[in-house]
Amino acid sequence: MTTARMEAFSDGVFAIAITLLILDIAVPTDSADDFLRALGDQWPSYVAYFVSFATIGAVWLAHSAITEYLDRADATLIRLNLVLLLVVSFIPFPTHLLAEYHGHPDAERVAVTIYGINLLMASVLVWGLWRYSVGEHLVRPDADDEEVQVLTSRLTPSLAAYVVLIGVGIFSPLVAVLGFLTIALYLIVPVGLVRRRQG
Amino acid sequence: MTTARMEAFSDGVFAIAITLLILDIAVPTDSADDFLRALGDQWPSYVAYFVSFATIGAVWLAHSAITEYLDRADATLIRLNLVLLLVVSFIPFPTHLLAEYHGHPDAERVAVTIYGINLLMASVLVWGLWRYSVGEHLVRPDADDEEVQVLTSRLTPSLAAYVVLIGVGIFSPLVAVLGFLTIALYLIVPVGLVRRRQG
Amino acid sequence: MTTARMEAFSDGVFAIAITLLILDIAVPTDSADDFLRALGDQWPSYVAYFVSFATIGAVWLAHSAITEYLDRADATLIRLNLVLLLVVSFIPFPTHLLAEYHGHPDAERVAVTIYGINLLMASVLVWGLWRYSVGEHLVRPDADDEEVQVLTSRLTPSLAAYVVLIGVGIFSPLVAVLGFLTIALYLIVPVGLVRRRQG
Amino acid sequence: MTTARMEAFSDGVFAIAITLLILDIAVPTDSADDFLRALGDQWPSYVAYFVSFATIGAVWLAHSAITEYLDRADATLIRLNLVLLLVVSFIPFPTHLLAEYHGHPDAERVAVTIYGINLLMASVLVWGLWRYSVGEHLVRPDADDEEVQVLTSRLTPSLAAYVVLIGVGIFSPLVAVLGFLTIALYLIVPVGLVRRRQG
């Protein structure tokens, strides 16, 4: 089974999920008098938008990297991938919760926990997709062993970080959200890869 | 006529329909005081989301399997495929009805019947697409006869199950919805294929 | 310039526009008591959904047929294609108007006129895309002359029909809408092609 | 690294962002009595829709032109591209602001400034993508030097124009919006390319 169709469908879902996020930012109503302030007051919407965009972007990047090493897909991999798509296309919902319930401490704690679990699950599934591919020898035979190692080690540490931040979120939702952003940016900015190439 | 353009367009529609489902889950308003409960109370939304996601996922999987065996498409197949897309892109509507009218027994019965008919039609059309392809010799000449049989026998039984469950839904909508979920999961989890490969 | 990127982008826009149509069908609110009737009362929504789906489907079919004959694209063709996409992605708006203002004769006349002009423009642009391609020799040199003729003659007559129906719509919006449906189905059902192949 | 996956994902985001714009045009409510006027009164929605459509179309065109010259992508280019997608998928938000707050001078000034900055950023990022590709020798070795020059000179001047128009928008939002439209149309209509080919 080739990976072409799986990639096309996944790209579609990632692209839609990432673009639908903008619908979670409300247009302020009846705020003509103090428009700039009304826009400013909903800053948590922009933060949530940016964190979710960065996270879905990071998942897409990891997904591209994984499929680039794949020689073929098997039936289980395609099902695992569907579960990843389920989790990614769910992200706009807690993003919306987070933006909507900023300033209500109790609700915000619930929202940030759901958000964190959602992001953690996306991260676990990307990691699982890669581990399964390596374990079942779906990776191209000519793939460089060291590169496979680098990708494995890049996808792993975020799992622990998400778990810690979900705990932190119970005390300080904002710190947790900034932590989620840091993970996404760490996964996007290719620090390790750049260093490796210069080495 | 090649199948490339048909696959690309279908993947687009499947990907959008499956990702739009998240918009059917309402963000609770004015529920800061008892947020967790407000979120919990809308559990039928999550169930409906999950069932519809699983069903569209199963349709996509079957569609991928079918087109993988196709050598070429003809004018009728492309039109049949358009009807399938019509039915699939309709799914978010009864999904929304189901989530919205939970707890109103009469309305719920209507909603679950419409939902069941929609899913049945998707299933019939996937099955029709495959039967037509086999009947018109659009399948690749080198396709393994036994594999064609397996795919045929996998796509068939769900039709009867949907009909039975639509009847069940008049008495117990929840049982019907869980039944729809079971069909989707049966179509997704490759039990038969795994067994066959081990045989 | 190859046509691959133009096809991918167009497929994306067609797929989204056709799938977004479902959002134009409202979920009845507070109608638990007489749910079936509330659903029935919004039958113009379903008709409008179906007509728009069929029309965008017909445009997609014609677009696929055209690009299948194309050898390459030039700068003007890609711009013409963008205008077509503008017109197609506008269709959900008059579709919504039509569904919303059914039963208000004056408003309905306005809505059906806007809808008809939108569909006419889509039809004119598809026809223009094809005429330009033929005129500028962008069609594959090995394309069968007779096939080029058939495609030309299939794309042409709908223009006059749309103009007539826009006039009819001022007196009877419903007749006009059913006429738009007939055009779309005529363009979808491959009568001429089938006859030709049997000949 | 090949550019195929980056193109597919970008096409998806561009296609969705451009098609979602239609959701920013409100369907007038309770306006059956004076429907044509109600539709006419929201003309700023149509202008904003058209300007945003033209701008995203122009970005897509420039993006296609750039990737057509690319031989391969590197890690930084793919990240830069993600930032471009972030900015493009944000466009529906200020488009909606602009349409909503027409007629409230203060709010309109804020909206048009945000809109202008958004468009400027898209323009800067497209330009940056191209400069980076040229600078890092990601362009196909057989690309015509003169063609590379033409593309560079086409992408550059809009930056200054956007800056000027953002300033103009503080005094006259409408003039600024019409200016944004002019830039988009200038980028879409291939004046320079046509002249060059005739030369």
What 3 state SS string does B4-37 have?
HHHHHHHHHHHHHHHHHHHHHCCCCCCCCCCHHH
User: Which one, of A10, A145, A107, A136, lies nearest residue A67 by Cα?
Assistant: A10
| Residue D142 DSSP label | T
Question: Is a pLDDT exceeding 80 seen at residue C54?
Answer: yes
Kindly state the tokens that stand for B173: 């909508």
CB contact at 8 A, B35 and A110: yes
CATH of the domain at A11: 1.20.1410
Contact B128, B80 (CB under 8 A): yes
3-state secondary structure (DSSP) of residue D139: strand
**C57 chain-B contacts, CB cut-off 8 A:** 82, 85-86
Pick from D187, D183, D149: which is nearest to D163 by CA? D183
Tell me how far apart the alpha carbons of residues B84 and B79 are, in angstroms, rounded to a whole number: 9
> In which domain, by residue range, is A81 found?
4-198
Over range D193-198, report the average pLDDT.
48
How far is the alpha carbon of C16 from chain B, nearest alpha carbon, in Å?
Answer: 7
pLDDT above 70: residue C159: yes
**ipTM of model:** 0.89
Q: What is the pLDDT of residue B63?
A: 93
Pinpoint the alpha helices (H) of C21-157: 35-41, 43-69, 75-90, 92-100, 105-135, 145-155
For the segment B162-185, what is each residue's pLDDT rounded down to a tens digit?
A: 999 999 999 999 999 999 999 988
Other C-beta atoms lying within 10 Å of the C-beta of residue A5: 22
Which of D7, D11, D197 to mutate to probe the C interface, most C CBs <10 Å?
Answer: D11
Mean pLDDT of chain C: 88
Instruction: With beta carbons under 8 A apart, name residues in chain C contacting B73.
Output: none
C75 touching chain D per CB within 8 A: yes
pLDDT digits (tens, 9 = 90+) for B24-54: 898 888 888 889 999 998 898 999 999 999 9
What pLDDT was estimated at residue D112? 94
Tell whether D193 is within 8 A of chain A (Cβ). Answer: no
Q: Treating both helix axes as pointing N-terminal to C-terminal, what angle do D158-171 and D105-135 enclose, rounded to 10 degrees? A: 170
Nearest alpha-carbon partner for D160 in D188, D133, D179: D179
Q: How far apart are CA A97 and CA D43, in angstroms?
A: 33
Please report the sign of the dihedral spanned by the C-alpha atoms of residue C128, residue C133, residue C136, residue C137. Answer: negative
Mean pLDDT over all residues of chain D? 88
User: What's the length of chain B?
Assistant: 199
pLDDT at site A195? 46
Kindly list the residues from chain C whose CB atom is less than 8 angstroms away from the CB atom of residue B6.
64
Question: What gap in Å lies between CA C65 and CA B150, rounded to an integer?
Answer: 33
How crowded is the C-beta side of B104, counted as CA atoms within 13 Å?
18
Indicate whether B158 pLDDT > 70. Answer: yes
Residues near B176 by beta carbon (within 8 Å), at least 6 away in sequence: B112, B116, B165, B166, B168, B169
CA angle B136–B142–B148, rounded 5-degree value: 60
Q: Which residues pair with B139 in a beta bridge?
A: B70
Whether C4 and chain B come into contact, CB under 8 Å, resolves to no
Question: Three-class SS of residue B155?
Answer: helix
Task: Please give the pLDDT value at position C195.
Answer: 47
H or E element, residue D122: helix D105-135
Q: Compute the distance between CA of residue C2 and CA of residue D130 in angstroms, rounded to an integer.
A: 20
Q: How confident is the model at residue A2 (pLDDT cuts 50, 70, 90)?
A: confident
Token pair listed for C157: 């007559």
Residues of chain B contacting residue A12, judged by C-beta atoms under 8 Å apart: 11-12, 14-16, 19
How many angstroms separate the CA atoms of D143 and D68, rounded? 10
The residues that bridge with B70 in the sheet, in sequence order, are B139
Chains meeting A at 3+ CB pairs closer than 8 A?
Answer: B, D
- Smallest Cβ–Cβ distance between D19 and the set C8, C89, C107 belongs to C89
* Per-residue model confidence as pLDDT tens digits over D142-156: 888 888 888 888 887
Residue-wise pLDDT tens digits, B79-104: 999 999 999 999 999 999 998 888 88
Please provide the DSSP assignment of D13-32 as one string.
HHHHHHHHGGGGSPPPSS-S
pLDDT score at A187: 82
pLDDT tens profile D56-106: 999 999 999 898 889 888 889 999 999 999 999 999 999 999 988 888 888
> Which percentage of chain D shows pLDDT scores above 90?
56
DSSP state, residue D71: S
Q: How confident is the model at residue B1 (pLDDT cuts 50, 70, 90)?
A: low
- For residues B188 and B54, the answer to whether their CB atoms sit within 8 Å is yes
> How many domains does chain A fold into?
1
Comparing C-alpha atoms, which of C166, C145, C148, C144 is closest to residue C156?
A: C148
Q: What is the mean pLDDT of residues A88-114?
A: 92
Most confidently modeled range among A106-115, A180-189, D141-150, D182-191: A106-115
* A40 against A193, higher pLDDT: A40
DSSP C70: B
Considering only CB atoms, which chain C residues are within 8 Å of D16? 12, 16
Does residue D111 sit at the A interface (CB-CB below 8 Å)? yes
pLDDT at A199: 40
B87 touches chain C (CB under 8 A): no
**Distance separating alpha carbons of residues D92 and D196, to the nearest angstrom:** 35
CA angle B177, A23, D50 (to 5 degrees): 125
**Residues of D with Cβ-Cβ distance to C82 under 8 angstroms:** 57, 61, 188
A22 and D23 within 8 Å at the Cβ level: the answer is: no
D194 contact C CB<8A: yes
Distance from CA of C152 to the nearest CA of D (A): 27
Residues B32, A92: C-beta atoms closer than 8 Å: no
Q: What is the pLDDT of residue A1?
A: 67
Nearest to B36 among A16, A17, A110 (CB): A110
What amino acid occupies position B33?
Answer: D
For the ranges A29-43, C58-72, C178-192, D35-49, the lowest mean pLDDT is seen at: C178-192
* pLDDT score for B30: 80
Bridge partners (DSSP) of residue C70 are C139
